[in-house]
Amino acid sequence: MKNKNIWLLLLSLGLCSSTILIDRFIVDIPDWLAIILALIAIISLVGFFFTNRVLKK
């Protein structure tokens, strides 16, 4: 379970940083794709906090 928790955090941080870097330096990302990637990052970050809370109990 702890491994899944770390993967959720890495997924959220990776999506956020890669979206920003790709959009700024390589090619423009359409707004709809950036919104979808941001929602996936938010969901995985919420999942990280939720599983972290469950692990502490």
Q: Enumerate the domain spans of the chain.
A: 2-56
Which own/partner contact pairs does 13-20 have at CB distance under 8 Å and 24+ positions apart?
A: 13/41, 15/40, 15/41, 15/44, 16/41
Q: Which residues contact 34 (CB under 8 A, 6 or more apart)?
A: 19, 23
Residue 2 corresponds to which tokens in the numbers above?
């702890």
Angle at CA 53, nearest 5°, toward 16 and 43?
A: 30
**pTM for this predicted structure:** 0.73
**Residue 3's Cα: distance from chain center in Å?**
16
pLDDT tens-digit readout, 6-38: 888 888 888 888 888 888 888 888 989 888 988
Q: Go through the chain and tell me how many residues it has.
A: 57
